[in-house]
Amino acid sequence: MFVEDRTPFFADFGEVATLGGSPVTVIFDKDFIASLEVESSNPVMLIDDVNKAGVVHGTPVVVRGINYTVIAIHPDGTGMTVLELEKV
């Protein structure tokens, strides 16, 4: 896990979403994403692991005024996690 402060990364590229009823800064991507761990056409968002506590499949998410639910959780091993979302 990286020990560097990831706050500037989220400050530069992030936006506020509601995750499980709490505001959190995320990197949101509603388009196709492909990486070593994730390949999906569902929207995804990247969160700092410090915000991951309590996130499970079915956790509600609101991004850009649209309601989603978490359908997959992919820790990336760097201290961040990709959450795959489904529109509700």
| Chain segment 9-62, per-residue pLDDT in tens | 898 999 999 999 999 999 998 875 555 555 667 899 999 999 999 999 999 999
Report the predicted TM-score, pTM, of the whole model to 2 decimal places: 0.84
Instruction: Give the containing element (helix H, strand E) for 49.
Output: none
Q: Which pLDDT value is given to residue 7?
A: 83
